[in-house]
Chain A
Amino acid sequence: MYSDYLKDKKELMKKLVQCFTAEYDYVSCLGSDIKGKSYRVNAMQSQVNESSIERGFVIKLYKDKLYREFSFDDLTTENFAELVENIKASNKITYAYVPSDTQILNDEPLIKDFERIADDIDYSDEKIMDILTNGKDIMMQQEQIVNAIAGFTKYEVSKCFVSKHRELTQHYAYYNLVAMAIARDEKTMQNAYRTIDGIKPSELFAKYDELVKETASVAKMLLKAKPVVPGVYDVITSPSISGLIAHEAFGHGVEMDMFVKNRALAKDYVGKQVASEIVSMHDGAASAINVASYFFDDDGVLASDTLIIDKGILVTGISDALSASVLKTKPTGNGRRESFSHKAYTRMTNTFFSPGTDKLEDMIKSIKHGYILYDTNNGMEDPKNWGIQCTASYGLEIKDGKLTGEAIAPVIISGYVPDLLKSITMISDDFELSGSGMCGKGHKEWVRVSDGGPYMKAQVKLG
């Protein structure tokens, strides 16, 4: 249910916007009320706690080519006058400065309420803890597993956006189910981590037994994994690694606030070939239903589905409202804040490669010596130079078109992004999204994203 708190505050938010409308060219106010609850069970302990709680507001003002924001954590009739004074005081600038070439944000009239109904009423705390305890027990029953963690987190988001001409509210929920197994032998310790994410707990829990069994098996297998012999290999990226590449290798490079600062090489490649002809890539809060699927962004711009790469050609990037205003493009609904107390930047949402027509078994058969790479570990962007660093948790060896049962770990994928994307020769007809990750801008500003896609055959440098 949409936040009662924000319902009560809407008139005050409108009054606050009204207070500054005469003096400023643009005024908006975003209110957030986010609730979360996390459940954790491991071999030694269990916990149920509130988590990811956020409640507060940010007002955005524009005049004299400068945007100003003030974040605060309560809005009441009693504190209203003091708040207005605080906002005014924070905007008194005596220091000489040169403003950048920003433009006034579009404020097209729209009044709408959005709702994606939460689907967790059948799951009491007891029921969730029972499922998790069972999942933990399944993992712990396997030899060499010394600890196992089963976790579930639910998030419920309510936001209200008010400007001179817009009044928007949204309410939605998403869920994250986790399994982690720690295996050890005399020499070493390894962990495997798997998640399922989405908007329907029933669908997530239905797959949990299979997930925990897989997780424990992978942890045990990693104890025997060998380091990869560095070199260039034919590989098949699993959906998780395809998503990592979509996100790190290319997604960050098409965040258009980077275009404004001339920080992204992609700016010069719009309309040009950047990937093989069988590759298409999307991003958007409306491009898929997963953890980053909302109705409007933190600038009050409606969500969209952006086709970034179409059959190998770079079509466009993604943008927040401010960057789009400078670039004179239409904002894509990708303006996101870590919380109401952080700035909005251009951020990814659900980022993925489109599925193709190949079958995974044919892709495996086509490889003389290479690997299937599994499970995102981490990655880092380099939008200016299109360098790539992505780490997969492990790879399974393919020789003469067959899996040998040998594993390698860890696996660092590196190289030059267009080389990697142009080397893609086969794409499977599978499609999976994973939303367990938090994405940073540089090394901060964390937001929840999903990414994924199909299996893809490519040639990459492994180390």
Chain B
Amino acid sequence: MMEKIIANLAKYPQINDYRLVATNSRSNEIFYILDKVETLRSTKLEATCSVTIYVDQDNKRGQASFVIHDSYTDEQIDQKIKDAIYQSKFSLNTYFALPKGEKREFANDSNIIKHFDSDLVFKIGDAVFKASTFKDGWISSMEVFVRENKVHIVNSQGVDYTYYTNSIGIEVIPTFKNEKEEIELYTYLDYDHLDYDKITSDTYDFLCQAELRNQAQKYSGPNELPVLLEDKEIKQVLGNLIDNLDYAMVYNKMDLMKIDDKFYGDGDDMPDISLVPYVEGSISNRAVDVDGIVLQDTKIVADNRILCNHGSNQYGYYLGVDKPTGILPNLQVAKGKHQLSELCAKEHLACLAFSSFQFDIFSGNFGGEVRLAKYFDGEKYIPVTGLTIGGNIHELKSHMQFSEECSKIKGYSGPKACLITKMSVN
């Protein structure tokens, strides 16, 4: 299909550049009610290509994007191109050059592809149910998604890259019953490799959390105390701060920090932060970004100083960056200086599950309703629920202590936990 589109684009000399992104995907999916199968699904999608054309006028660059389906005739493609040329005059913005590139296919190193058959979703389902060995708990809902994508990016400056992504996604919702009520907890596990034992073990760990929520009592501790956040929330808090260093935020005058500023304010001994294309096990891994920039590890914060901005080719060009980083998919944070046992030695609240952790990129306010936490009163842990935590990162970032122990999750590699020494809890 790409050849047909490129041949049609060539008929229009007013088009200065173009970019095409074609994604072929297939999936197998299974949906359970309790431990019984309700629906099996498969998808096979291979007939669309996203096209962006660039039309220069008066030293400015206009652009317009559209989608071509394989079913389009040459006449329909022509009409789409003509419409896009017309629309591009409404997007006449500062000129930027597209990245140059070469033809290259990045290898697919996931083992999922070798096991991609109709039985796989059942086997993954079995691996999940194997962990369900709890007296008062069961899995009430489960969905498994096995996906394979092939992404092909071509532009008029020689970029011709192909890469693959494979993933297994598992939504697990267990129910536990106590004398008073039933409770449930939500998780979505994801993997870029198939490992049945890890699926069983991760499910078991999550079911232990659900069992803990079953024992949780209403929080009645202090309204201000140290709060321990886990990797998922650290990723969100630091990731949003790093997002504020995006070229686009600078260009649009929405940046709060500048190069050479202290990233953590007055905080001491804080971990360095990089953006990287590859983290072991992360389903966000990409070799190239959507513009066709080949991605490389980029250190953003070192010794508490902001080293550089990051982001897309277009906005990097606007800021005069020689070599824009491209859109990097993973946050890599160096290990902290504190052992987890040290962080947990005094009274604190360890948050294990939020209903939906929120971070406002503009104001820096963050927090949310905690579905499950462990309150440590200085002597013992008490599982608690029904509370909210909140704070502002610009006031609290110098009060963060990171663990030496590290973990790897989707889009993140770094400290497993972070203690924020003073947060509002209600």
* A residues lining the B interface (CB < 8 Å): 5, 39, 42-50, 53, 55-56, 66-74, 76, 86, 90-95, 97-102, 125-126, 129, 146-147, 182, 188-191, 222, 227, 230, 260-263, 322, 341, 343, 377-382, 384-385, 387-389, 391, 409-410, 412, 414, 442-444, 461, 463
Contact = CB atoms under 8 A, between A and B. Distances in A.
Contact of B175 (A147, A262, A414): A262
Contacts of B251: 44
A74 B35 contact: no
Residue among B36, B39, B253 having the largest count of chain A Cβ atoms under 10 Å: B39
Given A94-B119, A261-B34, A463-B424, A70 B43 contact: yes
B357 to A, nearest CB: 10
B33 A100 contact: yes
Given A53-B48, A409-B363, 5 more contacts: A189-B363, A230-B424, A343-B29, A384-B183, A410-B365
Contacts of A380: 355-356, 368-369
Contacts of A69: 39-42
Contact of B43 (A67, A68, A71, A99): A71
Overall SS of chain A's interface: mixed
Interface in B43-73: 43-48, 63-67, 69-71
B40 A93 contact: yes
Nearest to B30: A97
Nearest to B256: A189
B362 interface: yes
Interface string B374-403: 000000000001101010001000000000
B2 interface: no
29 contacts: A42-B252, A44-B93, A44-B251, A46-B90, A46-B93, A49-B64, A50-B66, A69-B40, A69-B42, A72-B45, A74-B70, A95-B118, A95-B119, A100-B34, A188-B364, A189-B362, A190-B362, A190-B363, A191-B362, A263-B173, A378-B356, A384-B184, A385-B184, A389-B355, A412-B388, A412-B390, A442-B171, A442-B186, A442-B188
Interface residues of B, number: 75
Interface of B: 28-29, 31-48, 63-67, 69-71, 86-87, 90-94, 118-119, 122-123, 140-141, 171, 173, 175, 181-184, 186, 188, 223, 251-254, 256, 355-356, 358, 360, 362-365, 367-369, 371, 385-386, 388, 390, 394, 424, 426
A105 B11 CA distance: 51
Contacts of B362: 182, 189-191
Nearest to A128: B90
Given A48-B64, A100-B34, A147-B252, A73 B69 contact: yes
A69 B91 CA distance: 41
Given A47-B91, A98-B35, A442-B186, A410 B40 contact: no
Contacts of B252: 42-44, 147
A380 B182 CA distance: 19
Contacts of A191: 362-363
Given A70-B43, A73-B47, A444 B69 contact: no
Given A260-B33, A385-B183, A410 B46 contact: no
A68 B40 contact: yes
Given A73-B69, A100-B33, A263-B175, A93 B45 contact: no
Contact of B45 (A45, A73, A99, A381): A73
A268 B426 CA distance: 30
Given A55-B48, A260-B33, A380-B369, A343 B39 contact: yes
